[in-house]
Chains A and B, each alone.
Chain A
């Protein structure tokens, strides 16, 4: 068994588990206006991120903590994605807790907010490091339940509560599906442990397994907004507060896809061949429907919802590939996607601070603030997958992984859908660059944090793509 001293790889997870309690608890020792929780949060997340980077990668099977907490390369990199998403999320949300245009903050209780985000992040971490179905299920729930709360964070906001209601009702149904799937899988293998399930699956299949696979995919299809389970996403994305939407679109997607990766390349690895058609169909339909839905949108967050549905479809393509390729592609894509998405949401946040978040309020941006318009163009083209921006290389990895097992037709279909995607992203760029503003534009105010973050994100979107060592490191890991 491990001695305590070479168990340091578990430290970040433990810190992450304790971290939300510290943040929320800090509220007891300071007054309402104090910045203490915010400072602790920043410090904590960044510290955890740095600690994660100390974990050496490429250690084969990964290491185990009391035999059902596994930490492998994929896990570490997913942790990094989740932490980055959390950090950006709280930075984005910070402005909403300060005095807005009408002198009152749009949201309250930052400490609890950060705590919720931290819980969700930990849920994601649990999912990627689970070795049995129970941990797996608990992780998923820990990742999901805070999201319900976050969606309804503005108690005064009518749309928020409606969105939350829809979200939690459908979410619970999806949970029921998953549980049903889990129960059959347990019945099939007679054990909760992934290793034994994998042996059982390799030994032979029967309808019980396929029913469970069906239910599991349908349940996770809800969280990953696959066709036809995506219907909640547009409404929830629109109803929730902007920072919550951003966190939803990155963290919960990352958790869900991690769930699928663990499942497909873990217990179900022996039957990946048989479930490939299902995955291909899910991917194709999802990205097609997502692109179609985004064609004629006028509200930014709903637009982003559809675009993220389509992105989920693209990610699914990678699941068809062999384990290493697929995992690399997915992690790399999640990095890129998180960065591009947050860049977009930061800009929307700045726009939405004084105007409502629609295409119309982007008009005249290129005249009013060219650099912001450039940043917007960068993020949109990156999401559309235009080289040399990171988004292209991310998609290229995904398609590469999909094509490596010969699914040329699906890849061709996905690539053709890129044209549709390009169309609606160009629509958005058009309203920012081409359309003349109608009437007076309310001034845009950028705080130093916002400016810094936007510059940093823009640079990384441009650089993440074609700087080769980065793609190497995503593969080989940040090992200092």
Chain B
């Protein structure tokens, strides 16, 4: 029963699209009603399943899915010629990411209520995007995983270029092509994994049981890690995200920054590091060096920007840098911190982009120098933005603080010189984050109100609902993180076992 529900998670959005095909594009009311309902249903299903997974923590899982402890495990032969299966399952890590996705999708549908243009197509594309993201987090078969992973490119360009604002075609192309570039790097290594693994299976669990030849890992790991890192905007592949986010419509920014940028980090952890631990041990200490840009310079760049979405994009870049810091620490605490940061930053940036979109709908500008004092006119949205800001600068009580402190402590456990330096820099750069967030909030919300904004109105019920729910999530994780930490720890344990078991051979030239 629960297994069926679990599989419905990605099927329902697809069905919604099919249901809406015969409807005429003019009947937007019923269209939106259908989409909102389906998003809500999925949200409820996912929340229920998350609870179930939490309740089942520690129970013996399906032994077919060993070494991972997967619930709702489904495994059906799919493309027989290549030995690809339809393999899905849930453990603590991906069910939480699914919950995050469900929340963001739900919010995205609600905030794009009166979007300009052909709404039928837009909502269909949102649902397709949702399908792809759900699929990525659910699937444990590499072909299935990749199919869902690449699907996003199909939706992203159309959504950004047709419904976006500003340099939408440029932004859309930049985003889509860069992501495609990343996923092409992944695809190239996937074949290697299959043929070098030699177990005629694309299943992550099966491949994790064999140890791949070292010389293969040495070139495949960086290729695959970078491929995933592209979509998490790790320096130097971060350039797509500011332009993409600023061009995208609100819902797409929410989805892209909220959940799609996590897909990369998730892939790094679940596929690259899990299947190629030896190479990970050798390469990751060098990857850390790249984070100096993300974590330290990102906030400074945000400081120089005037466009709200650019600021948020660069803050995302710095926050995602922290995820990689946690991954590169290669300690249980660090990995948990990284996963926590994925979830927390999802909600956080979703809230950010949601409020920005609502404010943009009213002010028709995102330039903070033109705004001011709008807190007086729309206190609710203003408070929402400020709370998002606080969560962003890692204020205790919000999830951001939990994730960041976990990452810092975890990364400090890693006793390698470079990691230490970057960790110290990262801890010290929380000040810069505070600077740009407060500067933005003050310029935009405080101070005297310009004449042209006298007529602004506060958020309507729908918008308030979205903000309240997202803030509630942030606070919930921030105030009682214990349970979420348990779920993550149980699902990270096998990955860390594999990594710690990996003996680290000395490769001449790289010199681990």
Contact = CB atoms under 8 A, between A and B. Distances in A.
A386 B192 contact: no
Contact of A408 (B79, B81, B157, B192): B192
Given A406-B195, A416-B181, A468 B80 contact: yes
A472 B195 contact: no
A403 B80 contact: no
A357 B24 CA distance: 30
B195 A403 contact: yes
Contact of A392 (B147, B157, B161): B147
A292 to B, nearest CB: 15
B377 to A, nearest CB: 34
A397 B194 CA distance: 13
A415 interface: yes
Contacts of A393: 79
B154 interface: yes
**Interface centre among B79, B118, B177, B185, by most A CB within 10 Å?**
B79
B188 A370 contact: no
A172 B154 CA distance: 43
A471 B150 contact: no
A426 B173 contact: yes
Report, as a range, how many residues of chain A touch the other chain. Answer: 35 or more
A136 interface: no
A415 B185 CA distance: 8
A396 B81 CA distance: 11
B5 interface: no
A475 B181 CA distance: 31
Contacts of A396: 82, 143
A122 interface: no
A227 interface: no
Contacts, number: 97
Given A370-B121, A468-B79, A400 B191 contact: yes
Given A366-B162, A475-B80, A422 B177 contact: yes
Interface string B315-352: 00000000000000000000000000000000000000
Contacts of A415: 184-185, 187-188
B402 interface: no
Nearest to A420: B177
Interface in B152-184: 153-154, 157-158, 161-162, 168-169, 173, 176-177, 180-181, 184
Interface in A425-449: 426, 429-430, 433-434
Given A419-B181, A468-B80, A374 B191 contact: no
Interface in A321-337: 325, 328
Given A388-B147, A392-B150, A426-B176, A433 B162 contact: yes
Interface of B: 25, 77-82, 118, 121, 143, 146-148, 150-151, 153-154, 157-158, 161-162, 168-169, 173, 176-177, 180-181, 184-185, 187-188, 191-192, 194-195, 223
Can you list the 8 inter-chain pairs with the closest CB atoms, starting with the nearest?
A: A403-B191, A412-B188, A387-B147, A415-B184, A434-B161, A386-B154, A387-B150, A419-B181
14 contacts: A325-B81, A366-B118, A387-B147, A387-B154, A399-B191, A400-B191, A411-B188, A416-B181, A430-B169, A433-B161, A434-B162, A472-B80, A472-B81, A475-B81
